[in-house]
Chain A
Amino acid sequence: MRFLALLKKELRESLPWLLLAALIVLGVGLVRLRPRAPFSVADYWQYTSGMTPGEPVNVHYLVGAAQLELPAVWLAFIAPALGLVLGVRHFWVPLFTRTWSFLLHRSAKRSTVLAAKLAAAAIALVVPLGLVWISLHRYACRPDVFPFPEPIKVFASGWLCIALGFVVYLGTALSALSTARWYTTRILGLAFATLAVFFIIAQWKLTWIITLTILAIAILLIQTVAAFEDREF
């Protein structure tokens, strides 16, 4: 009951931001995925118009953008941004408003308080953005809307962005929980999260991506838990 009360409180605090993030991604997706019916060969003009057998072709014409490219790009920014905002909301704002003392004196363990925050962040990232992403992907895969289904890689990239949002969240939390100065070690949490994000998105092997993401989350999570348990408020 205590955990639920804490979770509800954290989710309620996060609500405006997660709604905003979901609406942005949904809006971009709906704008991009406007159904064009009936489907026309002219949609692929670069392959049909002006085609003459035996002619050279610039190989890069074979590289196309998925229908979900634009929403995917936006999601790649929105998810980490949401993670950053949630980290600030959960860990920085109580420092400024000095409500940590009130929160930590609830009859709940520190680990319960932290677990509620982490769970709220995970839910806030996964549920709204995940639902939006699934909806957009299913819509993009409808044959009456677009003839060719979206590659699974594109679908996975959205989930990767959501996971990286959690990495950024943990990095923000770790920086907030540090008592050092910004120009010394306080920045390390955010710096590590940022570097991890860029490093992971540059990978292309799925196993490496999953492994590195899990590793980054694990490192940050362990440090966040340790910092939270030891920190003085």
Chain B
Amino acid sequence: MSEIVLETKGLTKYYGGKLALDHLDLQIPRGSICGFLGRNGAGKTTAIKMMLGLLHPTAGSAALLGCDSAALTPAVRQRIGYVTEGHRLFRWMSIAKLERFQRAFFPEQWDDRFFGDMIEYFELSTKQKIKHLSNGQRAQVSLALALAPNPELLIMDDPTLGLDAAIRRQFLEGMIELITRQGRTVLFSSHILADVERVADRVVVVDRGRLRADCPLEAFRASVRKVIAKFSDTAPSEAQIEGLLHCRHSKKQLEMTLVDVGDAEVAEWARQTGAEHYEFVEMNLEDQFIEFTAPPNHRRLFQWEEVE
């Protein structure tokens, strides 16, 4: 088994009396690109901050590169790159000054040439001040600062938030650049599922503070499926099938979202219920994520979406 670079055990966080993260157990192996997914307020940023020692867990623990998150030493932090949500940098600094500042913390491993190449690639000038950069340009600088020290572990909190497609593509390419370096691990949270689908090989899904999925991307893609079954008469009011996540009922049709249910089981159910016809609906990762994290028995907001 490959080495575990990021591990959490029962990581729990309460804000006041409100549970934000509930016993998160996670293991990220070295070399993995892990997409950390969840709806707004699911607990992703909370989890990341606890992993980096910026928040104190109410219970449980986290370890990065074998070091307890509550006591991350400077030497360990040197091996971890972190891109903050919103790419918050010192606005009064120029890119050159920021580089010098950042370099001071990575005296041995800073790659000057790589940083310069990235800045040049992004068509930025080192004399520009951060406050004069756009969101996308700031994201580029942030990525360059995080990658130049050649970190073993890169943690990014929603790095492509608010960026256009072109900048997002550059971001992903930067990540891929890092990935090609042997033994590098990436954990990134994102709302852009298409990006996750492009690069991640593992997904972790957190829903209302609770871990819902921690599996290879392919396994997630294969497990979450949607079936539409049509009936000649009235469709049954509910579907009795194991692995049923959601079921939407219309007059002659049942739309079911299933988790980890094989074709044979679906066929058997259709036979038992007398479905006239059933078909699997093609879903992309975003569709799957939305269905997977939808609250139980949720109704669509807009009725025109209802399947006839």
Contacts and interface: CB of A to CB of B under 8 A. Distances in A.
In the complex, are there CB atoms of A and B closer than 8 Å?
A: yes
Interface of A: 1-2, 4-5, 9, 12-13, 97-102, 104-109, 230, 232-233
Given A101-B49, A108-B74, A5 B105 contact: yes
A105 B77 contact: yes
A63 to B, nearest CB: 48
Chain B interface size, as a band, is 20 to 34
Interface string B91-112: 1110000001100111100000
Contacts of B171: none
B55 A5 contact: no
Given A101-B49, A101-B82, A105-B84, 9 more contacts: A5-B100, A9-B101, A13-B92, A99-B89, A101-B54, A105-B80, A107-B75, A107-B105, A230-B56
Contacts, number: 63
B138 to A, nearest CB: 12
B52 A2 contact: no
Contacts of B90: 9, 13, 99, 102
Interface of B: 49, 52, 54-56, 74-75, 77-78, 80, 82, 84, 86, 88-93, 100-101, 104-107
Nearest to B50: A232
15 contacts: A4-B104, A5-B100, A5-B104, A98-B86, A101-B82, A102-B82, A102-B84, A105-B54, A107-B105, A108-B74, A109-B74, A232-B54, A232-B55, A233-B54, A233-B55
A107 B106 contact: yes
Contact of B91 (A4, A97, A100, A106): A97
A21 B130 CA distance: 27
Contact of A2 (B74, B89, B92): B74
B37 to A, nearest CB: 21
B71 to A, nearest CB: 10
B104 A1 contact: yes
A5 B101 contact: yes
A99 B75 CA distance: 21
Contacts of A5: 100-101, 104-105
A4 to B, nearest CB: 7
B77 A106 contact: yes
A95 to B, nearest CB: 11
A12 B100 CA distance: 14
A108 B54 contact: no
Nearest to A110: B53
Contacts of A2: 74, 104-105
A233 B87 CA distance: 15
A120 B49 CA distance: 27
A72 to B, nearest CB: 33
Contact of B88 (A13, A102, A107): A102
Nearest to A9: B101
Contacts of A102: 82, 84, 88-90
Nearest to A15: B92
Contacts of A230: 56
Contacts of B75: 107
A4 B74 CA distance: 15
A98 B88 contact: yes
